[in-house]
Structures are given as C-alpha cells and as structure tokens.
Chain A
Amino acid sequence: MRAEYEREFREFVDTQSPALLRVAYLLSGDVHLAQDLVQSALAACARRWHRIRDRDQPFAYVRKALYRSQYNAWRTRARRPESVVAAPPEHDTERDHAEDVATRRDLLADLARLPYRQRLIVVLRYYEDRPEAEVAAVLGISTGGVRSQAARGIANLRRLRAASENRTEAFR
C-alpha cells in the first residue's frame, strides 16, 4: 500500500474503530468477537482501500462488510451468536437507584437472545436508526423482509422484557 494510502487508512482506523466496535458488539454479543469482526472487516477494507477511498466510502464499506458477514453467518454458524460470549453481561443489582441503567443492560441481554438475523435488523433499524430501504440495501434483501423481521424482533424483545419483568416481580 502506498504511504499516502496507509496514512489515510491508519487515520480511518483510529477515528472509526470505536463506532464500528459498538455495532459489532451489538451483533456478536461478545467483546472479543466484536474485535475480531471489526479486524476482519478492516483487513478487507485495507485490501481495497485504493478503490473505496476514491469513492469516499470507507466507513460505508466496512459497515456493510460487518453486517453482511453477520447476516450470512447463520449458514455456517447458526449457533454462534447465541453460543459465544466471553463474559456475562453484568446485571445491575441496585435497581432502586439505577433502574434505567438496568433496563438498558437488559436490552443487551434480550438482544443477544434474538435469532440473529432479527438482531441484525433490529440493530440497523433502531440502533443505527436507518430507514427500511437502507437496511434492505445494506443486507441485499427486500424491504418487506426487513419490515417483517423488524416486527418479529420487536415482538420478541417485548416478550423477553415481559418475561424478565415477571421474574423480577416474583422475587420482590
């Protein structure tokens, strides 16, 4: 890689890695897998840097690579997103003063329990707040598919939330 390109690439990695890692974490549910996912996407990005820099789209390229690799990953590792975690998400035990924080932590746990195509679409739609058409374009599927998977994802999150709240009530 030319020195100029390498400098640009390094700047890109420095500035964009945190945002990419957050997305990768939501998709994989695991810090190490998220790092691995981002590194693989960055390596793919490095291979084509000379092209994508010209189009001024490196972030879009890496982000798309992240999502697509996860979207298709069910075929070879249908069990992975639900089976690999480095450490359990921490659950807040002091609900009385931090219930809102606990709720968001529960969201992470609930998200990890979704079938991961649903998880992927939920993250794109509601974490990244992307419109259906853009989600469809990123994943290469129809907007109808996005809509139905998003609806199922929301319904499952509601169900998981309700189950969690019922359990909490039972212990009070």
Chain B
Amino acid sequence: MDSGAVLVLAPIGRDGPAAVEILSRIGISGIVCADYGALVERLGPQCLAVIAAEEGLYGRDLGDLIRWTKDQPVWSDLPFIILTSHLPHQRATAWRAELVSSLGNVTLLERPVESITLTSSTRAALRARQRQYELRGLLSELEHGNERFRLIVENARDYAIILSDPDDLIIDWLPGAAAVFGWSADEMLGKPTSSIFTPEDQAQGVPEQELGRARSEGVAPNVRWHKTKDGGRVFLDGQTVALRNDDGTIRGFMKIGKDITDRRRNEERQAVLTAELQHRVRNVLAMVASLVKRGDATGSTQEFRERLSGRIAALARTQTLLTRGALEGVELEGIVRDELLAQAADAARVSVNGPSLILMPKAAEVLTLAIHELTTNAAKYGAIGAPQGKLIVHWRRQPRQGQDWLELTWQESGVEISPGRQTRKGFGTELITRRVPFELKGVGEMQLTETGLLCRISFPLQPSESVLQTDVPAESGKENRRSS
C-alpha cells in the first residue's frame, strides 16, 4: 500500500526521476509510474497528488482515469499537476481543455518548468489535499456520532421523542414515540403534535400554552396524561424544547418524555391507600368513642368494662378480617360462629345454617356487632345461658324489588321469660333496630316471645366490591388503564 505519495507520470526521458528527485529535496515522496496504466492502478485515497506530463496521457483512452476522478468520495478532489507538451497545436488546444475540465482540480504548468514552480505548485496541491483528509476525518466523526445518536434514540423505547416544524406539525416520529403511543410514524407524520394531548387538555388549550411557553422560555415542562392509539392514557414526564435557527427564528420543536405511567399509577394508588388508611383510623377511633359513650351506664364499672372490651374485641375481629387483603369481604357464617365460640356456646344446643355469603365491609361491621350483642345477651339472659335453651340462627337470600336481600333470623327457645319482661333498650337494641335501617337501609326487629328472644335482621346486599375500594376517593384523573 502506497501511503502519502505523489504519483509521477512522465514516460519519456528523465523527466519522471528528475521530478521525484526535486520533490524529495523538499521532503515529498514521489513514485514514478512507468505508463498511464501504472498510474491508474495506483490511484487511491492515499494518493496525495498526480504530476503528469501531457505526453503520458495524450492519445490514451482516459476513461478509467476520468471515471475514477468522478467517483471519488465526497471529501476527495485529487489535485492534478499537468506538465504541457509540444503537441500538434490545433488538436492540442481542444484536447487540453477537455482534459482540464474532466479532471477538475488541475494546475497546468507550461514546460520548461522551473523547479521552484514545480515544488510550489506541488506544495499547494498537498496543502489542499491535507484539508481534504481533515474533512474526511470530520465527516467520519459526524457519521459515527450520528450513528450513535440514532442507536440511542431508536432504542430508547420508554422515551417518546417527537420533532415538529414551526407550525408544530410532526416531522419526526421516532420508534420510542411509536412504542409509547401505539401510532406508527406513517400515521403521525404531518399531524399536529396537539393530537397526542387528551381531549380535556385540548379543550383547555394546553398544547398552545405549552408551545407558547417553549417559544418564550426555550423549554416548557410537559408532565401530564396523553392519549394513546388504543384509546388509553399514558403519563409522560418530559418537556417541549423550541429549536432555533442561528438567527433566532423557530426551526421547530422537540418533545421528549419518559413514559412513567406505571409509576404514576402506583403513586396514585399509594395516595388513595394513604387517604383511606387515615380515614379508617379516624373512623375506628370515632367508633370506639361511640362505644364508650353508648355503653349502658347501669351496673358496676367492672361490668361496663367487660361489655366495652367485648364490643371492642368484636370490632377488632371484623377489622382484622377486612384488612387482610384487597377484594376481601367477610363470610357470614364465620362471623356467627366466631361470636358463639367466644361465648363458649354449647354446640349441641345451637343450630347455624344458611348459604355461603360474603359480606361487604359496612354490613360485616354492623352484623358482627349485632351478633356480638345477641350472643352476649343470650349468654347472660337467654338461650345460651339457660340449661334447656336452644338457639337457631339461619339466613337466606331473598329477592325484594329487584335486589338481593339478606334475611337473618335469630331465634331463641327454651328460655323462661317472666311475664311483662321487655327487651332491654340498650346498645344492642339500638344497633339492631336503628343502626341497621340507617346504615344498611334494612330492617331490624327484636321481640320477646314466650320461649325467648326473636330477632330479625334484613337488608339489601350490595353488589360485591373490594373492601379496599369502598370509601376510597375516586381516582383524580379518570384514566383508563392502558391495555399494555
């Protein structure tokens, strides 16, 4: 491989070696080419310049040389120094003109040539060639840089990058944008960038405000929900940058944003859960305060304390069940059996039956307390405590006016009821006869029959819902979940 040499074509006499000799004195290496064919063979990017005597070219088919010259890479314009010959005059003029125009970068030196003329022309040619090499280096760096940026930009799939013109019509819709929004470049090129904003934001003029801010401040934050091709929503955290020409006029806009939909949804869920937790803690405390306030003040402090701690324990049991996980209601039979167990009711004298049924939080809470009151009451004054007492608890689902109702019956028997005795108007009675209608929109009745207490509780069953979804603030946006 010849590196950095001047090719010299001067086939007649000593002109070739003489020229190489002159060049070498000023530190330029030259290579003598024996004939036109040898010259064409040695042409290449490493070639610094060509010094050729006309007689080496005249009369040859210069097609290969001219073609090579034309096919040079964009940075290359090989300098030719042509030494004139005494050619037959008329034809020479036209041939020379043709040669000069075909080779392009030509310096014509008329013979005889002073060595200073040759060396200065060659130096000038080499300087020009050096500039071409520098340009080659810059071009290659640019290409590498572009390639790197292209790779980065095309592989950043979580980042939507969109370029638009001064009117904000999309001119570049990169693969990240296609991955985030679902639309292909073909679908989006030429559309206004505002078409990725939600209809609400479009109606409020948000796209225009954002562009206005990018125009005046250079950059506008773009942190909001956008719409996607499938009708869903995607949350972008990014910005819109105004791109300017050297004279300061707007060349267009670049919108770049990271898809943080999942993080955003988690944050929203966290906020909802935190608010819910706060709400629940306050509610539980309010409820405990009510239990204390409404405790029957008759009897000893000891009795009051026992009743209160029993009620708080019943409340705690529901809370434990309800907060065990999302989508968790409480099984009705479990509520009933837990309370009977807590009073050590004799299983042989108790019958519990009804369909399997999951109660939603509010109903579970009220019913747990109601069963608790009925059970403690039965242990003290009724069927659980009485040696011959019997207790039947049964329930069913019953449609009423297009809604499913729960009808629960608590029936005690074998209890000696002294004539004239009334049901106690205490906490339990209030709970069943007043709280059930108020909170569950149902009916609660208590009556003493000849053989014991009969209680009926009925209320409409709510369509199933998660405990963690009740009493939860509605999501702030009304975004659809993305299908991805």
Q: Are chains A and B native binding partners rather than an unrelated pairing?
A: no
